[in-house]
C-alpha cells in the first residue's frame, strides 16, 4: 500500500517537535545558538531520535534545542511553513499544529507575536499546497501562566487559533491546576484538548474530562480502565465508559508512545480500543523526535495489526469529525477524504 497517497487528517502534531534537522542547524547559525550537539545534518537527525528515551521526561528534554532556535518571528514562520509543506507532502489534507508560545519569548518576542508568525507560515504553505490547518495553543502543566496563555489564545482566534491544550509532564501536574484557563477558553468558543493518559493512568484522563476536555491527547492508558479477555475489551470501568459513551476522541500517536514508555508496538492498545468502538485517531506527535510521519504511523499499524484501507478510512473520518473550528471546515475535510483528494506536493 502506498501510505503517502492516502489523504490524512492530523490532530496531534507539535510544531517544535517537527523541525527539519537542516533548518535547526541553519537557524542556530543565523541566531548564534551554539549548544547543538552537532551541526552535521544526518548526525543531528540521529541525535534527536528519542526511540530509546524510555520516559516522557527524557523525551521532552530534546525540545530544549528546537525551542532555542525558534525565539524569533522569522524562525517561527519558517518552521510553520515547512511543517505544513512536509505534512502535505505526506498526504495530510488538514493539520492541527500546537505549540507553547510562552516557550518562545526568550528573545523578546511575545506570545501573540509568536502565534502570528506561525499563522503567517501556515497561510503561505496553505496557498501553495491547499492543505488546511488550525493552531492549538499549549500551556505547560508545570508552569503557572495558563490563565495568561488562555487569554492570548482567545485574542489570536482571528489568526487561526482553534484550540487550547495542556502539555508537558503529566505525572504530578494535574490538569485541574489549570481549570480556570480551561473554563475561559471553552467560554470563548475554543476547542479544548488535554494531554492525559500518556504518562499517567485513567485518573489523569478523568481529571482532564472534569476540566471540560473535548478530546484527549494520547489517552491510550484508558485501557487500564477496561476489562480485556481473550484479546477483546469485554467491560468498561467508569472513566472508560465516560470516554466511550461520550464519544471523546483519542489523539493516539503510536510510535511516540513506544518511545516514551518502552511499550512494545504489539502491546499498544490502539487496535483493541478501535475494535471496541472508542473514537480513535492517529497522529505523529513529534516527527523529529520520533523520526516518523503520519504515513509511518499507518505503515506500523498495517504491519503490526493488519490495518488496511477500511481501518485507515475509519480513523481519518473520525479525525475529520473531531476537527476544532467551524462545521463547514469539517464538512470540507470530510468531502476531501471521501474524494481521496491529496494536497499539492512541493519539492
Beta-ladder partners of 134: 96
57 is a catalytic site residue: no
Q: List for the chain the helix, strand, coil content (%; round to 5).
A: 50, 15, 30
Nearest partner of 281 among 94, 12, 56, judged by Cα: 12
Pairing of strands 191-196, 215-218: parallel
* Inter-residue contact 118 to 15 (CB < 8 Å): yes
Euclidean distance between CA atoms 265 and 301, whole angstroms: 9
Tell me the sheet residues that pair with 217: 195, 251
**Sign of the torsion angle spanned by Cα atoms 12, 10, 153, 20:** positive
Residue 232: exposure state from Cβ atoms within 10 A (0-12, 13-18, ≥19) = exposed
Which residue in 77, 198, 251, 297 is the catalytic one? 198
User: How many C-beta atoms lie closer than 10 Å to residue 331's C-beta?
Assistant: 12
Given a contact cutoff of 8 angstroms between Cβ atoms, the answer to whether 60 and 105 are in contact is no
Residue in this structure with the C-alpha cell 488550525, named with its chain if needed? 134
291: helix, coil or strand?
Answer: coil
Q: Any idea which residues carry the catalytic annotation?
A: 198
Amino acid at each position: 500500500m502506498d501510505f503517502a497517497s492516502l489523504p490524512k487528517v492530523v490532530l496531534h502534531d507539535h510544531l517544535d517537535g517537527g523541525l527539519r534537522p537542516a533548518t535547526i542547524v541553519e537557524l542556530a547559525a543565523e541566531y548564534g545558538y551554539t549548544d547543538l550537539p552537532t551541526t552535521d545534518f544526518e548526525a543531528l537527525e540521529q541525535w534527536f531520535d528519542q526511540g530509546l528515551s524510555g520516559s516522557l521526561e527524557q523525551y521532552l528534554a530534546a525540545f530544549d534545542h528546537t525551542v532555542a532556535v525558534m525565539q524569533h518571528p522569522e524562525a517561527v514562520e519558517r518552521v510553520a511553513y515547512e511543517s505544513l509543506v512536509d505534512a502535505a507532502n505526506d498526504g495530510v489534507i488538514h493539520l492541527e499544529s500546537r505549540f507553547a508560545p510562552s516557550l518562545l519569548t526568550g528573545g523578546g518576542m511575545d506570545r501573540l507575536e509568536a502565534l502570528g508568525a506561525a499563522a503567517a507560515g501556515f497561510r503561505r504553505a496553505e496557498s501553495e499546497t491547499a492543505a488546511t490547518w488550525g493552531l492549538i495553543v499549549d500551556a505547560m502543566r508545570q508552569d503557572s501562566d495558563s490563565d495568561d496563555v488562555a487569554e492570548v489564545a482567545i485574542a489570536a482566534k482571528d489568526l487561526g487559533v482553534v484550540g487550547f491544550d495542556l502539555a508537558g509532564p503529566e505525572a504530578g501536574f494535574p490538569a485541574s491546576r489549570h481549570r480556570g484557563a480551561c473554563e475561559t477558553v471553552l467560554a470563548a468558543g475554543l476547542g479544548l484538548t488535554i494531554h492525559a493518559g500518556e504518562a499517567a493512568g485513567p485518573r489523569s484522563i478523568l481529571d482532564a474530562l472534569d476540566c471540560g476536555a473535548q478530546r484527549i491527547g494520547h489517552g491510550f492508558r484508558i485501557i487500564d480502565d477496561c476489562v480485556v479477555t481473550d484479546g477483546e475489551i469485554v467491560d468498561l470501568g467508569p472513566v472508560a465508559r465516560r470516554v466511550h459513551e461520550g464519544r471523546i476522541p483519542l489523539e493516539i500517536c503510536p510510535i511516540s508512545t513506544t518511545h516514551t514508555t518502552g511499550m512494545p508496538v504489539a502491546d499498544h492498545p490502539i487496535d483493541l480500543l478501535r475494535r471496541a468502538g472508542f473514537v480513535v485517531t492517529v497522529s505523529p506527535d513529534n516527527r523529529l523526535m520520533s523520526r516518523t510521519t503520519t504515513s509511518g504511523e499507518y505503515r506500523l499499524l498495517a504491519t503490526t495489526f493488519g490495518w488496511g484501507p477500511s481501518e485507515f478510512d475509519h480513523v481519518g473520518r473520525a479525525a475529520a469529525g473531531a476537527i476544532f473550528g467551524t462545521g463547514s471546515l469539517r464538512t470540507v475535510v470530510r468531502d476531501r477524504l471521501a474524494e481521496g483528494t491529496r494536497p499539492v506536493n512541493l519539492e
